Amino acid sequence: MKQTLPPLEHHSQIIGKLQAAVFEYTLLPNGDRDFTYFSPYCETIFETDSNILLSGIHPIESFVHEEDRPAFLKDFQQWLTQAEAFQWEGRIVTPTGKCKWVDAVGTPTRMEDGRIVWVGLFTDQTNQKEMERINRENKQRLDLALIGSELGVWDYNYKTNVTVINQKWADIIDYPREELEEMFCHCEDFIHPEDRPNYLSIIEKHLARETEFYEVVYRFQLKNGNWRWVMERGQVVEFDGHSNALRTVGTLQDFENRKTQEQIAVEAEGRYRELIETLPLGIVIYQDNRLVFANKSVAKLMGAASVDELIGKPALHFVHPDSLAISMERIQQLMDGKAVPTIEQKYIRFDGKEIMVDVSAHQLNFRGKPAIQIIIKDTTEERETQLAKRKTETLFSQLFRSSPFGLVMLDDMGKVVQVNEGFEKMFGYTSTDLAGKSLNEFIVPAELETEGNDLNTIISSEQVIKIESKRLHKNRNALSVIIYGVPVPLENKTISIFGVYVDITEQKRVEEELKVRNIELDNFVYKVSHDLRAPLSSVLGLVNLASLKGNTDNLEDYIQRIGQKVKQLDHFISDVLSHSKNLKLELKIEKIDLQQLIDKTFADLNYLKGANEIVREITIEGKEFCSDPWRIGEIFRNLISNAIKYRDFNKNDSRIRISIKMTVDRATILFEDNGIGISKANLNKIFDMFYRASEQSDGSGLGLYIVKNAVDKLGGILKVTSEIGKGTSFELKLPNHTLAVEN
C-alpha cells in the first residue's frame, strides 16, 4: 500500500494551475520505490493518465529517451542511494511517440517512519530547446554569411561609448581589433582630408533622420600610413525620446579593387572609342538628354554627312512618333537603374525615310556622369524577310496545331518529330512519348506491320497516298482511320513526311449499327405484321363462322373468343409501344416505393389466369431507392407476368420470391420462381426480340427484350439462371441515383 503526502487543500488549486508537474517520489525502508503523487499537469507532459503513472506499470525510466537512459539510470541510482537532491535535464518519449525535453528537480525529506520522500517539479523545456536550436542555427548562418560576404561589422553604443567589431574589419584596415574598438569614436580623424567633408555631411544627414541608412566611399589611413579605399554602410537602430542616436550598426567593405578598376576603365576609354568606330553597328551615348557621342556607322545609318551633325541632338530626335512613348519609358527605367530588353523600333533618317532598327540600351558612366548607351542595328530588310517567314510558319503552325485531324511529322528516316493535339487525343500518345521513335512500333497492329512499312517507302518516294486501315490507340483499342501520306521534298530529296489521320471509328460503328438496325427493323416489321395479322385473321374467321346461315352455335362463345384475340392484340400493341417508349424516353429519376410498386403490379396483373394462385414471398432491405419509375415498373411487370404465365401446372404451389437489398450505391433485386424453367439451349436467346421459349407462351415475345433494354438504359446488370422443371432466377443490379435526386 503506497503512502502519499497529499498537498494541503488550500494549495491544491494553485498546484492544479501550475504549468509544471508537481510530483512526490517515495523510497520505503524495504527498498520499494515509486511515485506517490502527480499534479494534473503531469498528464499534459507525459500524455498519460496520472492513475497509470501512479500504478507503477510504466516506471519513470521507461519514458526516458534511449540515448539519455544510461546516464539517467546511473544518476538516478546515486540519488536514491545517497538520498540527495537532484536536477536532471533530458528527453522523454511519450506513448504517442512524441519526443519532449523536460527539466526535473527534486528535494528529499526523511520521514519519521523511515521513508525518504522527494518533492519536485517536472517542467516542459521543449519550446525553449527549440528556440535555442533555431537561435544557434541562425547565428551559424549569420556567421557564414558574414564570412562569405567579406564584410567588416561594427556595433557602437553612444551611451556607454563601447564598440564591438568583428575581426574582418580589423583585417581590412590593418589595425588590431582592440585598438580599433578604442579609436572608433573618433575614426573620422583617419579619413582622407579630401573625403572627410563628404563623409561628415552624409553622417549628419542620417543622424538628423533625413535618410533611412547611409552609404559612403572614402579613403582610410592604415597603420603603416598608406591609404585604402573602403565603403561604409550604417544605420541608427535605436533613438531616445528626443531623437538622439543611442546605437548604430554597420558594415565596412574593402573598395580598393573597385577603385582600381574604375581607373583602368578611364584608361581604356581611348581604346574603347577606337574599337567602336570600326563596328558595323550604330553606337551613340546620350547624356543630359543630348547626344554626346556617335560612331561613324550610326552617322551613315541616319543619312548624316558626318558625326558632327548628330552631336547635340535631343535624345529622341530620330525616334518615330509610333515608338516615342516606349522610348521615353525605357529611358526612365534606365535612369532608375533597371535593365531593359532589346526591342524593335521605328526611326526617321535625315532624309525622312523610315527604317526599322533593333535597339539595345544600358546605363553607364561617361566622363564621370550618368549616361545611356544605345546600340542600333538596321533590320529593315531583315525584318521584311523574317516577317514573310514568320507568317508562313505561323500559318503552318496554326494549321498543324489546331487541325481536328491527327497530324504527325516524320523525318527522312521515318522517325517522329512532332504530333499535334488532334493526334494525341486520337491515339493517346504525346510528342514526348513518340519523339525520335518509329510510329509503326506504337500504332500499327502486328498483322498490318508490312502495310505500315510499305507506306513509309511509298511516301518517301514522293508519292501521295490515301488508304483506309486500322490503327491502335495507346489502350490497344483498334481505330478505323483514313490515312493521307504527304512527302515534303527539297532539292529532289524527301526531307520529311506528313501523315494525316482521320478517325472514322464512330462512322464505321454507326454504319455497322445501321446494318444491324436495318436487319432488326426488317425483322421487327415482319414480326409485327405477322403478329398483328394472326389475331385479326382469327377474329375475321370467327366473324365469318358466326355469319354462316344455319349456324346454330352459341354466339357468346364467338364473342368471348373474339375478345380473347382482341385482348391478345392489345397486349401485343402495348408491348410494341413499351419498346418504342423505352428507346426514346429520357431517364427521369424519382424516389420509388418498391413495396407499393410490387403490390400495384400484382394487382394490375390479377386478370391473368392463375394469378390468384401464386404465393408471394417479398423481402425488402434498405430505406430509399431512386431511379426511373416507368422503366422500373416495366421490368417488374414483365418479370412478374412471365412468372405467372409460365408457372408449372404440375406443382401444387406456384411461388414468386422477390428479394431486394438497397444501399446508397445500388439496388440488388432477385426474382425467383418455381415455374417450368428454361433449357440451357434457349437461355441465351430469351432476350432476343420476339423470341418465345415455350409452347405455353401466348405473349408478344417482347417482354424480356424490353426488360433487357430497360436495364441497359438504367446502366444496370442483368443475369439469368434457369433449370427445366425447377424454375428461373433473374438477378438485377441497378444504380441508386440518390445523389441525383438530392442535387
Flag whether pLDDT at 10 surpasses 50.
no
Identify the residue with better confidence: 604 or 88.
Answer: 88
CATH number of the domain within which 468 lies:
3.30.450.20
pLDDT of residue 490: 74
> Across residues 703-718, what is the average pLDDT?
84
- Report CA dihedral (572, 574, 580, 586) to the nearest 10 degrees: -150
The answer to whether position 144 is within a domain reads no
> Where does residue 706 rank: exposed (0-12), middle (13-18), buried (19+ CB within 10 A)?
buried
Range of the domain at 474: 403-501
| 150 Ramachandran zone, left/alpha/beta (phi>0; psi -120 to 50) | left
276: burial class by Cβ within 10 Å (0-12, 13-18, 19+)? buried
Among 5-9, 545-549, 639-643, the least confident range:
5-9
What pairing do the DSSP bridges indicate for beta strands 654-662 and 614-621?
parallel
Asked if residue 449 and residue 461 are part of one domain, the reply reads: yes
Mean pLDDT of 256-278: 65
Query: Where residue 439 falls among pLDDT bands split at 50, 70, 90?
Result: confident
Residues 591 and 711 in one domain: yes
The DSSP letter of residue 64 is B
Which of 457, 477, 501 corresponds to the end of one domain? 501
- Please compute the mean of the pLDDT values over residues 447-474 and round it to a whole number: 78
Helix 594-604 and helix 629-645, axial crossing angle in degrees, nearest 10: 50
Q: Is the domain of 479 the same as that of 552?
A: no
359 and 346 Cβ atoms separated by less than 8 Å: no
Of the residues 524, 550, 584, the one at which a domain ends: 584
Residue 178 has pLDDT above 60, yes or no: yes
Find the mean pLDDT for residues 566-592. Answer: 65
CA 579/CA 289 separation, integer angstroms: 88
pLDDT at 635: 87
Alpha carbon of residue 659 to chain centroid:
45
Instruction: Tell me how far the alpha carbon of residue 107 is from its chain's centroid.
Output: 59
Q: Give yes or no: residues 627 and 712 share one domain.
A: yes
Sign of CA dihedral 423, 428, 429, 430: positive
pLDDT at 3 over 50: no
Going 71 to 72 to 75 to 81, the CA torsion angle's sign is negative
- Structural domain includes residue 314: yes
Average pLDDT, the chain: 81
574 pLDDT above the threshold of 70: no
Claim to verify: residue 628 and residue 660 sit in the same structural domain: yes
Lowest mean pLDDT among 214-223, 260-269, 602-611, 638-647: 260-269
**696 lies in the same domain as 629:** yes
Mean pLDDT of 653-674: 91
Residue 304 counted as domain residue = yes
Mark whether 417 and 378 lie in a shared domain: no
Comparing CA positions, the residue from 9, 6, 11 lying closest to residue 23 is: 6
CA–CA separation, 99 and 536 (whole Å): 92
Query: What gap in Å lies between CA 280 and CA 283, rounded to an integer?
Result: 9
In a domain, 606, yes or no: yes
Taking the C-alpha atoms of residue 285 and residue 297, their distance in angstroms, rounded to an integer, is 13
Q: Are residue 409 and residue 432 in the same domain, yes or no? A: yes
Q: Write down the H helix ranges in 252-379.
A: 256-277, 296-301, 321-335
Q: Please report whether residue 92 resides in a domain.
A: yes
Across 520-544, average pLDDT? 60
Q: In this model, does residue 384 exceed pLDDT 80?
A: no
- DSSP per residue, 89-147: EEEEE-TTS-EEEEEEEEEEEE-TTS-EEEEEEEEE-HHHHHHHHHHHHHHHHHHHHHH
- Please check the confidence at residue 523 and state whether its pLDDT lies above 60: no
Q: Is the pLDDT of residue 598 over 70?
A: yes
Query: Which of 383, 417, 439 is the last residue in one of the domains?
Result: 383
* 509/482 same-domain check: no
Handedness of CA 692, 697, 702, 703 (dihedral sign): negative
| pLDDT-based confidence at residue 534 (cuts at 50, 70, 90) | low
pLDDT band at 619 (very low <50, low <70, confident <90, very high): very high
Across the beta sheet with 416-419, what order do the strands follow? 416-419, 406-411, 494-503, 478-489, 465-472
pLDDT reading at 732 higher than 60: yes
Neighbouring C-alpha atoms within 13 Å toward the C-beta of 207: 12
Give the model confidence (pLDDT) of 314-333 as tens digits.
878 889 999 889 988 888 88
pTM check: above 0.75: no
Q: Buried (b) or exposed (e) across 528-565, using 16+ Cβ within 10 A? A: beebeeebeebbeebeeebeeeeeeeeeeebeebbeeb
Cell of 232: 561604409
Determine the average pLDDT of the residues in 231-245: 87
Q: What per-residue confidence (pLDDT) applies to 62?
A: 87
Residues 376 and 328 in one domain: yes
Dihedrals φ, ψ of 722, to 5°? -160, 155
Under the banding of pLDDT at 50, 70 and 90, the label for residue 669 is: very high
Say how many domains are in the chain.
6
Closest CA to 194 of 229, 244, 160: 229
pLDDT attached to residue 175: 86
> Each residue of 204-236: pLDDT tens digit?
999 898 998 899 999 988 888 899 898 888 898
| CATH assignment of the domain containing 603 | 3.30.565.10
For residue 1, what pLDDT band results from cuts at 50, 70 and 90? Answer: very low
In a domain, 142, yes or no: no
Lowest mean pLDDT among 508-522, 570-584, 628-642: 570-584
- Give the domain CATH number at 525: 1.10.287
Comparing 594 with 573, the larger pLDDT belongs to 594
Shared domain for 277 and 169, answered yes or no, is: no
Please indicate, yes or no, whether residues 196 and 120 belong to a single structural domain of this protein: no
* Local structure of 292: helix, strand or coil: strand
Q: Is the pLDDT of residue 612 over 50?
A: yes
pLDDT at 600: 86
SS (H, E, C) 675-706: CCCCCHHHHCCCCCCCCCCCCCCCCCCCHHHH
> Is residue 398 domain-resident?
no
Confidence of residue 152 (pLDDT cuts 50, 70, 90): confident
* Residue 97 falls inside a structural domain: yes
